[in-house]
A = this chain, B = another copy of it.
Amino acid sequence: MRVSVRLFHTLLLLTMAAFAYAGPLDSWQDTDARQAIVEFVEKTTQEGSPDFVPPRDRIAVFDNDGTLWAEQPVYFQLMFAIDRLRLLAEKHPARAEQEPYKTVLGGDLKKVLHESSIATILDIVTESHSGMTAAQFDRIARDWIKNARHPTKEKPFTGMVYQPMLELLEYLRAHGYKTFIASGGGRAFMRAWVEETYGIPPEQVIGSSVELEYKVIDGKPSLVRKREIGFLDDKEGKPVGIYRRIGRKPVIAFGNSDGDREMLEWTASREGPSLVGIIHHTDSAREWAYDRDSKIGKLDKALEQAGKENWLVVDMAKDWKRVFPD
């Protein structure tokens, strides 16, 4: 009986929370984008609607970099990787002459990015993200996200999430959608902060990863992060990563770059209703404006396909009242 009473109490609180939930999507302008989202969510969640989607199938996936938080001048995780290698080189000076340390220590952020091949970038990431246990990495990432600041905006990185997207996540969850991240970024890196920031628990974070190895170290069962890419959750990897994790096609997917094209196209091919959206970075005043010619977050093919297939394109400058939380 004690159980039932506690459960009743919990459910009562949840019910009150549901009633307290008001003013969804407040940071969205009253434009077509907002209306398309509201109409889609209503028609898929109202019983009796011909487009009703049962709760178990209400899956919504979001890219992270450029979709839920900013990604300029370079992916924030790359700044984490570089900070980490600089720190390691200070502690172990002999490393400074070896790659990828040499590249990192020899240039500024933009130089590292623009003059490096993808192989070098991956090398910077795997080297900085491996050689410790999963628990150790988690502490390192939590520590960085708490203390690091954006080089030009001078804010914590978690202050550079998009307020309208936070509201969209909340709005979808209030309608029974389960929200997932499907990002090219590191799964473990994101898990260190996304629950607090987006309300998305670790088991709903899909991302790239290094291989893990189970080992008992000094009698302590541990998972060691190996210097080896396990999975790249980008481009054609995104539908694969999502299906591996969820076993179903999402109903809703949002992205912002060509790296999301396959995920969006695959979601749009769902039998039954689907909503596929692109965040278009059009706002040089409040954020950044970039698409076809950007090295980071290049949006070209996916934008073309969005036009042809009627995907929702969110124009940051026009459709959002504000960009960041404060």
Contacts and interface: CB of A to CB of B under 8 A. Distances in A.
Interface of A: 2-4, 6-8, 11-12, 14-15, 18-19, 21, 45-47, 56, 134, 174-175, 178, 187-188, 191, 195, 201-203, 205, 209, 212-214, 216, 220-221, 223, 230, 236-237, 239-240, 243-248, 262, 265-266, 269
A2 B174 CA distance: 12
Contacts of A265: 216, 221
17 contacts: A4-B18, A6-B47, A7-B15, A8-B15, A11-B11, A12-B15, A56-B195, A56-B201, A187-B244, A188-B247, A202-B246, A203-B247, A203-B248, A209-B244, A212-B243, A213-B240, A221-B269
Contacts of A203: 178, 203, 245-248
B269 A214 contact: no
Contacts of A205: 247
Given A7-B15, A220-B269, A245 B243 contact: no
A8 B3 contact: no
B3 A175 contact: yes
Contact of A11 (B3, B15, B223): B15
A237 B211 CA distance: 11
A8 B12 contact: no
Count of identical protomers in the assembly: 2
A21 B201 CA distance: 27
A6 B41 CA distance: 14
A265 B201 CA distance: 25
A320 to B, nearest CB: 23
A134 B4 CA distance: 41
Contacts of A187: 244, 247
Given A4-B18, A202-B247, A203-B247, 8 more contacts: A2-B46, A3-B45, A3-B175, A12-B15, A214-B262, A221-B269, A223-B240, A223-B243
Given A11-B18, A15-B8, A269-B221, A214 B201 contact: no
A212 B262 CA distance: 14
A245 B239 CA distance: 16
A209 B21 CA distance: 41
Contact of A214 (B202, B216, B266): B266
B223 A239 contact: yes
